[in-house]
Amino acid sequence: MAPPHDQMLPTHWQDVREWSMEKRQSYTMWALDVESVLSLMARQLGVEYARRLSNVVSAKSAKYTSTFISALHARPEQSVFRCPALSRQRMEHVKTDPEAPLGNGMCPVAMYGEFAFRHNRKSRYALSLTERDLAVQKLPAVQAARGRVVFNLRDCVGCRAYGADDHADVGAYFSAYFYPFRKRWASPGVARQRVEQCFRVASTQDPHGNLDEARKWARAISDGSVCNRPQKTGERASCLCAEVRRPCTFLVLLNPQSGKGQAHTLFTRHVQGILQEAGILYTLIITEHQNHARELVRETDLSQWDALVIMSGDGLLFEVVNGLMEREDWEEAIKTPLGILPGGSGNALAASIHHYAGLQPVTSEELLVSCGFTLCKGLVSRLDLSSVRTASGQRMFSFLSLAWGFVADVDIESEKYRRVGAARFTLGTLVRLASLRVYRGKLAYLPAQDPRGPSSTSAQGPSPQACPATHRDLPAWNRPFRNSCNSNNTPNPKRTDVPPAPERGPPDSLLAPLDSPVPAHWTVVTDEDFVLVLAVYQSHLAEDLIAAPASQLEDGVMHLIYVKAGISRTALLRLFLAMEKGTHLGTGCPHVEYVKVRALRLEPHSPKGTITVDGELVEYGPVQAQIHGSLARLIAG
């Protein structure tokens, strides 16, 4: 389309108002065409080049382009050019196909504007927003890349616009919130750190016009942040199944007693802000007693919430999972996205999520910020649950682990060191190492790679609904202990007794009743003396213990690790030290066995001992479990 003749161009936007609609339209088309050209140049040659080009064009016939567009829209605009192709439509495309190649890495510029920072009105900055990032260039741009900072929208949780507090200030503001990885001050490595970029829009004397412009930027940046998800590679990319609906409302359940008893303070200090920045509404409920959360999710109308978020250790999530599974509508209820914010001492699931994202390990507050960020991104994955049955007929659902022996002892005995936080496990390990115990019992499992395949396994497996044995049928060592006391007849530090609820959930098709022998095709371990038996279905057992590095959220297996008696204290200590890096399975220790299983049974013969499920004490005695793949949903970046 031929550009209009120079003399025909308006000298001021006021002139355009007097034009006929037809004339306006023809000019708009031409103006947009110039914009498309500039956007194309930006994509191919870089924003800076396009900007210079726009200056050259301005000097000639298009010198009034920006004024012109503003006039046509009957309000002044600050944006110099805008690519109509990028906008909602293009963002949608990114949403459905995030991995779509985008040429040489250059993205078209969606918005361009020149603003001052909120706290530095003297200098001006050019902002270029593409579908992937926000570039901030100090003006005048003497040299490309100098004074230029690029923020990846993947690191952004949101952006909001607001007017000035001071009535004398006609300007409006928009603040974008980024959590990029930055080097730590005190120690090596990187962690997500908050960066706020706040710009002042004051292109006119009209505060409303400025606020409109600020809102437009805030919306575009927020949309971009939603579309830009943290990237996953390889097999782990496959487990994403949905996104939390936007705008979203979370129910946050917080255990004030978890960890060092500082969960509430940590929430206020590190999480509240990030949720606000992401525009996420939430209701916070502070649990008042054990099983409070379990009762609550069993009864609540789940349609009010887009996700249930647990700010605690793994114990509170265990309650929530089981509360959901006790509902009549368990099949739907368990698909409610769950989120975890580490507020406990172990925080195994939170550390696992961070690990699955392929990020450098972090702990404590840094892990909390990382999980808060993940929560705001709202990407939902499927999560395996294991169904665990005890001799008394209790059935529970577990997302983390089933442990007997050393690991379970340390978990429960270290409760008394709770005030030292995560260090309680180190202390507990040293104490238990000093008086190393051997546990006698029988272990059997169904290997994940059953040579006859999954169909033959279930065909030859036991009845679809396993029948629990009654107490009287069991030998003395097998009888479950009362819930209020553990095997040493001391009060339980953690109890899991709840009023009995009708059994719900999928049938355990791989399990035989506990009083029947295991199916013939199961593997029965010949050794009967163990130091520990641990089935874990997440990578981490605590923030700094990578028990099953190969584990994934929905790999459909339990990672069974057992350590046979005969291991020396030094070798066991070495094993735990190696577990901090996740290298323990490659140490070649002859006492350590590792196998992926789909179901297992454990029959302790020692009269005393501890069994934990997700770190919670359960009745001591025979116990069996089977994995149920992809049963739950978890917000995990």
Ligand X SMILES: Nc1ncnc2c1ncn2[C@@H]1O[C@H](COP(=O)(O)OP(=O)(O)OP(=O)(O)O)[C@@H](O)[C@H]1O
Residue 560: HSE in the Cβ half-sphere, 13 Å Cα cutoff:
25
Which residue has the closest beta carbon to ligand X? 313
* Residue (317 or 511) nearer to ligand X, CB: 317
Instruction: Map residues 20-59 to x or -, x wherever contact with ligand X holds by CB under 6 A.
Output: ----------------------------------------
* Residue (256 or 556) nearer to ligand X, CB: 256
Nearest alpha carbon to residue 540 among 418, 365, 359 = 359
Q: Cβ 260 to ligand X, closest distance in Å?
A: 8
Instruction: Map residues 328-367 to x or -, x wherever contact with ligand X holds by CB under 6 A.
Output: ----------------xxxx--------------------
Q: Cβ 323 to ligand X, closest distance in Å?
A: 11
Q: Cβ 312 to ligand X, closest distance in Å?
A: 3
Residues in region 238-257 near ligand X by CB under 6 A: 255-257
* Residue (97 or 288) nearer to ligand X, CB: 288
* Residue (201 or 351) nearer to ligand X, CB: 351
Q: Using DSSP, how many helices (H) and how many strands (E) does the chain show?
A: 17, 27
Report if residue 259 touches ligand X, rule: CB under 6 A.
yes
Q: Cβ 283 to ligand X, closest distance in Å?
A: 17
* Cα separations in angstroms, 14 against 35, 69, 73, 102, 404: 21, 12, 12, 40, 81
Binding span for ligand X by CB under 6 A among 138-146, 180-188, 283-291, 585-593: 283-291
Instruction: Map residues 76-95 to x or -, x wherever contact with ligand X holds by CB under 6 A.
Output: --------------------
* Residue (130 or 257) nearer to ligand X, CB: 257
DSSP run (H or E) holding 411? helix 406-413
User: Distance (Å, rounded) from C-alpha 611 to C-alpha 619?
Assistant: 7
Q: Cβ 381 to ligand X, closest distance in Å?
A: 20
User: Distance (Å, rounded) from C-alpha 428 to C-alpha 20?
Assistant: 83
Q: Coil, strand or helix: which one is 283?
A: strand
Residue 470: HSE in the Cβ half-sphere, 13 Å Cα cutoff:
2
Report if residue 313 touches ligand X, rule: CB under 6 A.
yes
* Cα separations in angstroms, 184 against 61, 181, 193, 477, 622: 51, 9, 9, 53, 48
Pairing verdict, β 181-183 and 148-152: unpaired
Question: 364-373 burial string, b = 16+ CB within 10 Å, else e?
Answer: eebbbbbbbb
User: Distance (Å, rounded) from C-alpha 31 to C-alpha 520?
Assistant: 78
* Residue (35 or 319) nearer to ligand X, CB: 319
Binding span for ligand X by CB under 6 A among 66-74, 144-152, 308-316, 385-393: 308-316
User: Distance (Å, rounded) from C-alpha 421 to C-alpha 260?
Assistant: 5
Of 316, 321, 341, 618, which lies in the binding site for ligand X, with binding defined by CB under 6 A? 316
Of 113, 209, 315, 441, which lies in the binding site for ligand X, with binding defined by CB under 6 A? 315
Pairing verdict, β 195-201 and 281-286: unpaired
Report if residue 314 touches ligand X, rule: CB under 6 A.
yes
User: Distance (Å, rounded) from C-alpha 292 to C-alpha 253?
Assistant: 10
User: Distance (Å, rounded) from C-alpha 225 to C-alpha 373?
Assistant: 12
* CB 484, CB 433: distance < 8 Å: no
Report if residue 612 touches ligand X, rule: CB under 6 A.
no
Nearest alpha carbon to residue 536 among 609, 600, 487 = 600
* CB 503, CB 323: distance < 8 Å: no
* Residue (295 or 593) nearer to ligand X, CB: 295
Catalytic residue among 314, 450, 508, 555: 314
Instruction: Map residues 556-595 to x or -, x wherever contact with ligand X holds by CB under 6 A.
Output: ----------------------------------------
Binding span for ligand X by CB under 6 A among 36-44, 55-63, 286-294, 603-611: 286-294
Of 63, 264, 270, 494, which lies in the binding site for ligand X, with binding defined by CB under 6 A? 494
Identify the burial level of 7 via C-beta atoms within 10 angstroms of its C-beta, where 0-12 means exposed, 13-18 middle and 19 or more buried.
Answer: exposed
Q: What is the DSSP letter of 519?
A: P
Active site residue 314: yes
Report if residue 312 touches ligand X, rule: CB under 6 A.
yes
Residue 458: HSE in the Cβ half-sphere, 13 Å Cα cutoff:
9
Report if residue 258 touches ligand X, rule: CB under 6 A.
yes
Q: Cβ 370 to ligand X, closest distance in Å?
A: 16
* CB 71, CB 13: distance < 8 Å: yes
Number of residues that bind ligand X (CB under 6 A): 23
Residues forming contacts to ligand X in the complex (CB under 6 A) are 255-259, 287-290, 292, 312-316, 319, 344-347, 494, 615-616
The catalytic site residues sit at 314
